[in-house]
Amino acid sequence: MNSSKRFGARYGATVRKRVDKVESKQKQKHKCLFCGRFTVKRLSVGIFHCTKCKKKFTGKAYWP
């Protein structure tokens, strides 16, 4: 999936590749630190929520 196609020919190739890499990683499910399952979703900048054990925790801006 190439999420940076919405920019068209603007902003340069390097910036579009960097945006694509970050967005693809932030939208995938992450491993929970408490129960160990891949059910963690990003709520907002630095806030993550496990849908299985219902824990809410902080991490980096785009991934825990």
Q: What is the pLDDT along the chain (64 residues), one digit of tens a residue?
A: 578 889 999 999 999 999 999 988 888 889 999 999 999 999 999 999 999 999 999 998 888 8
pLDDT at 1 (0 to 100): 55
pLDDT of residue 4: 84
pTM score, two decimals?
A: 0.75
> 41: how many CB neighbours lie within 10 A of its CB?
12
Question: 40: which strand partners?
Answer: 30, 50
Q: How far apart are the first and last CA of the chain?
A: 22
The CA–CA distances, whole Å, from 33 to 2, 40, 42, 52, 55 equal: 29, 9, 14, 12, 9
Amino acid at 34: F
